[in-house]
Amino acid sequence: MFLRTLRAALPYVVLGHLALLSSATVTDPAALDACPGYKAKNVFTFGPKLTADLVLAGKACNVFGNDLEKLKLEVTYENKERIHVKITNPADARYEVPEAVFPRPHADILASPHSAAIRFNYTASPFSFSIYRVSTHEVLFSTASHPIIFEPQYLRVKTNLPAEANIYGLGEHTDSFRLPTHNYTRTMWSRDAYGVPQGSNLYGNHPIYYEHRTTGTHGVFLLNSNGMDIKINDTEGLGTTLEYNVIGGVLDFYFLAGSESDPTEVARQYADVAGTPAEVPYWSFGFHQCRFGYQNFVDVAGVIANYSAAGIPLETMWTDIDYMYKRRVFTLDPDYFPLDRMREIVDYLHKHNQHFILMTDPAVAYVNDGTYGPFDRGIKDDIFLKAANGSSPFLGAVWPGVTVFPDWFNKKTQDYWNNEFKLFYNPETGLDIDGVWIDMNEPASFCNYPCTDPFAQAEEQILPPPRTTLPPAHDSPIFGGSALQKRVDHSHDDVQNPPYAIANSAGTGALSDKTAYTDAVHANGLIEYDTHNLYGTMMSTATRDAMVSRRPGERPLIITRSTFAGAGSRVGKWLGDNLSEWAQLRQSLSGILGMAGVYHIPMVGADICGFGANTTETLCARWAMVGAFYPFMRNHNGDTSISQEFYRWPTVAQAARNALDIRYRLLDYIYTAFHTAHTSGTPVLHPLWYQFPKDANTFAIDTQFLFGDSILVSPVVEENVTSVRAYYPDAPFYDFHTLAKTHVEGGGFIEHTDVNFTSIPVSIRGGVVLPLREKGALTTAELRKTDFELVVAPAVDGTASGSLYLDDGISITPKTQTNVAFAYKKQKLTVKGTFGHATGVDVARVRFLDVASAPKSVKFNGKTVAKNAIAFDAASRVLDVALKTPFNSGFTAEFS
């Protein structure tokens, strides 16, 4: 959370170097391409592995330091679809992402180049390499004519790609989902990015891209957590180039073959490397409400009551840092948020099958007077990040004033964090939270680099900020009643002002601006220069472990801001401090497609209606409907903005009811998609081209997307517009509400001309059997007591299929599970599976779509269905068959 008012210019304070970075370093590509590169010598191949020495091929370029004279190349075919290419310095230890943070994938010992879908090829002098697809002999990645540069603080690899390449990924950004290819730079360096500005480095770093061609889709992942610029540029007549400019570490590439026909295959292969997404509680798919600026416990309780009165589902109430005493983590303000009244709120929520979440920040207030336990215990255990001298705590200035930061590499930090959660979030003596919200974990700070006196700066910037309202009366009525790493020698490196300056947008551009200094030292000797981009993910992992320690065996919901590759295997994410602007509503769609569709962080959403500035009734109404199709759905805004709870405007309230009804009816469908993602790596959200990879019209579309693989969402994302031009590929689609069929021969656009401010175009892709709840509900607990209905939406060939997964919705390892498969062919639906987890409800009816005429007979399990249980709508071509059969075994339903 960035400072929301004119107090924003809060400097971050700490002792350290005073060097300033410029903006991105400008280099001449032609000059870099003239560097000598390396020669491959002593090439040795044995089974799936190739090794070689790379020796400098001529006079050193020394563009940003001295070229290393000798490197080590190691190429490993890890399985049929994955090649691992690693280039290191054999003479000295260099930083690599620790395995404790990013576990390396297992390799198949029987892998062989002869059976691989992609292969590594090289030229010895000057050394260059390429990755090509065996089946098509198509080059996917090639460094030809672009020499590798390997210096102490600068690594450069450049590849040739097709003209106007379709590239997706490369970390958190607000640009289009298909990345621009002309003079475009993606920078990897986590920062607090209030307003999530376009063309800027943001909170998360994921150096993975998918490239899609009509001949197939493949992926390239660089496992490196150092700061970097990745530059993409089209050159007329020469195609596209993609260039990595990295300020440290090693070159550690994973090349993923993907597939010629199914783009989601590359996502599954990346999941093998980065980990499949974590499963989350069933309740977490409900609607969440939060605000920075709820002044006291009366405010919080009032919001809960008002949602109930408005008949708008509210699953989880959140509270921002307002609840803290002097903004100190693991505290409650005794006047504004007294423990007994807050426990009353939590008890009320739990009694009504609702949930409660609090903000937990990483920065711990420096209160060295024996009155603040979290600081005292951390000092005693010596678990805080150290300054450059390696002995004194590294000091920053954040919300509570002068702060220290937990060092997640310290072996004792996990126990410290678990204990703080145990003490503060104790169901018996504290607040029994149901999930955790992590903010400021880049780690962020309010420092304008350089700073020399943290205490003076905190006082000057009025940290912590004072309360601006009087506390309510205490009896005010509510509710109407790590492992050690090899030490890396940075003694000859300038880690504050590296010779190559990445395009960091924070403050002055200095790497240490508004964050922990790059020379801050971890317990294992690593420094922030190398590990900065890992801080948020490591805090997320520690927090997940702390929550599992609190509630053993239960899936926690952890929502974080800063992420690195692999974070989704443990936590979810929101897209940070956006603004109440139409452009940011639109940008959120590419953001969630990137996180859920590429990086495997499917529990993702944006602050609905916008965080900063003031929303409007129409913007909030449209955003409420779009947000119903974010996997993580939360309304959240800032303390200087107007209140924007859904119930505050009639139009927004109705839009929210309508959209939430759709969402809740689809909840088991998306829950099943999450389980599939967890078990196989298949994405939860799909851009259109994932399902229609040969249709070039879909490659750039990012204002429509598939919720799951079969629900097409086509929202209005422009102001004062009541129409939307939606693209429909060459396949049957069915309107979600009327179930009438739409099919544009060959694919094409359809203009929806009457999209009022409480509706959103939603369609069902042909070829699916959808398990829907018959109606929505106010809580997910209530929803699970609602009957199912099955919607059969045939493809062109008249077939359809689907699945349903159910369990208790909370256990990490459920004792019972239900897995159901649906298959429709020749006018017969077959339902079969294992029913280990009792659904406790019925299948109320089956709805067959695109039925040409009234059937002569309908049968259930081979027996004729009574006529009064059958209804046929000739206009919409929908056949409804009422069953009201217990959903505890398989069955068949057919018509002639």
Q: Where are the beta strands (DSSP E) in 5-69?
A: 38-46, 49-56
Query: Tell me: the pLDDT tens digits for 103-137?
Result: 999 999 999 999 999 999 999 999 999 999 999 99
Selection from 241, 182, 255, 219 nearest residue 32 by Cα: 241
Chain-centroid distance, C-alpha 219: 18
Q: Would you say residue 13 has pLDDT above 50? A: no
pLDDT at 2: 37
**Cβ(476)–Cβ(40) below 8 Å:** no
Domain with CATH 2.60.40.1180 in the chain: 722-895
Residue positions annotated with a catalytic role: 439, 442, 577
Range 184-193 average pLDDT: 97
Quick one: DSSP state of residue 28?
-
Rounded Cα gap, residues 807 and 794, in angstroms? 28
Residues 6+ apart with CB under 8 A from 237: none
Residue 711: is it exposed, middle or buried by C-beta count within 10 angstroms (0-12/13-18/19+)? buried
Rounded Cα gap, residues 98 and 114, in angstroms? 32
Domain with CATH 3.20.20.80 in the chain: 286-671
Residues 6+ apart with CB under 8 A from 536: 190, 203, 204, 438, 441, 442, 443, 560, 561, 562, 563, 564, 567
Domain with CATH 2.60.40.1760 in the chain: 29-274
**Cβ(407)–Cβ(413) below 8 Å:** yes
Quick one: DSSP state of residue 503?
-
Selection from 200, 321, 329, 331 nearest residue 636 by Cα: 321
Cα 31 to Cα 66, 503, 585: the distances in Å are 16, 20, 41
Quick one: DSSP state of residue 178?
B
Q: Is 124 helix (H, G, I), strand (E, B) or coil?
A: coil
Query: 413-424 vs 373-381: helix axis angle to the nearest 10?
Result: 160
Angle, vertex CA 487, rays to CA 482 and CA 490, nearest 5: 130
Residue 370: is it exposed, middle or buried by C-beta count within 10 angstroms (0-12/13-18/19+)? exposed
Phi, psi of 494 (to 5 degrees): -95, 95
Rounded Cα gap, residues 657 and 308, in angstroms? 12
Between strands 38-46 and 49-56, the pairing is antiparallel
Range 832-842 average pLDDT: 97
**Cβ(630)–Cβ(659) below 8 Å:** no
Residue 863: is it exposed, middle or buried by C-beta count within 10 angstroms (0-12/13-18/19+)? exposed
Query: Tell me: the pLDDT tens digits for 522-565?
Result: 999 999 999 999 999 999 999 999 999 999 999 999 999 999 99
Mean pLDDT, the chain, whole residue set:
95
Phi, psi of 376 (to 5 degrees): -60, -45
Query: Tell me: the pLDDT tens digits for 303-343?
Result: 999 999 999 999 999 999 999 999 999 999 999 999 999 99
Structure tokens at 689: 């081209």
Lowest mean pLDDT among 6-15, 56-65, 612-621: 6-15
Rounded Cα gap, residues 863 and 45, in angstroms? 66
Rounded Cα gap, residues 552 and 854, in angstroms? 54
Q: Would you say residue 380 has pLDDT above 50? A: yes
Rounded Cα gap, residues 329 and 362, in angstroms? 8
Q: Band the pLDDT of 29: cuts 50, 70, 90.
A: confident
Choosing among 3.40.640.10, 3.10.20.30, 3.20.20.70, 2.60.40.1180, the CATH entry for 722-895 is 2.60.40.1180
Q: Band the pLDDT of 829: cuts 50, 70, 90.
A: very high
Q: Would you say residue 16 has pLDDT above 50? A: no
Choosing among 3.90.280.10, 3.40.1800.10, 3.20.20.80, 3.40.50.300, the CATH entry for 286-671 is 3.20.20.80
> How does 448-486 read in b/e, with b if 16+ C-beta sit within 10 Å?
bbbbeebeebbeebebbbeeeeebbeeeeebeeebeebe
Give the 3-state secondary structure percentages of the chain, helix then strand then coil, rounded to 5: 20, 30, 50
First to last CA, the chain: 60
Rounded Cα gap, residues 65 and 155, in angstroms? 10
User: Helices (DSSP H) in 120-231: which residue ranges?
Assistant: none
Q: Would you say residue 412 has pLDDT above 80? A: yes
Rounded Cα gap, residues 329 and 549, in angstroms? 19
**Cβ(495)–Cβ(529) below 8 Å:** yes
**Cβ(451)–Cβ(397) below 8 Å:** yes
pLDDT at 224: 98
Between strands 154-161 and 208-213, the pairing is unpaired
**Amino acid at position 165, single letter:** A
Cα 69 to Cα 27, 30, 61, 239, 451: the distances in Å are 22, 22, 11, 31, 38
Q: Would you say residue 1 has pLDDT above 50? A: no
Structure tokens at 699: 């490659």
CA dihedral of residues 183, 187, 191, 195 (deg, nearest 10): 30
Q: Which CATH architecture has domain 29-274?
A: Sandwich (2.60)
Selection from 689, 708, 703, 688 nearest residue 216 by Cα: 689
pLDDT at 28: 82
Q: Is 386 helix (H, G, I), strand (E, B) or coil?
A: strand
Q: Is 475 left (phi over 0), alpha (psi -120 to 50) or beta?
A: alpha
Chain-centroid distance, C-alpha 633: 13
pLDDT at 486: 60
Quick one: DSSP state of residue 406?
B
Q: Band the pLDDT of 22: cuts 50, 70, 90.
A: very low
Residues 6+ apart with CB under 8 A from 551: none
Q: What is the pTM of this model?
A: 0.96
Residue 748: is it exposed, middle or buried by C-beta count within 10 angstroms (0-12/13-18/19+)? exposed
Tell me whether the omega of the peptide bond preceding residue 450 falls within 30 degrees of 0, making it cis: yes
Selection from 678, 717, 714 nearest residue 281 by Cα: 678
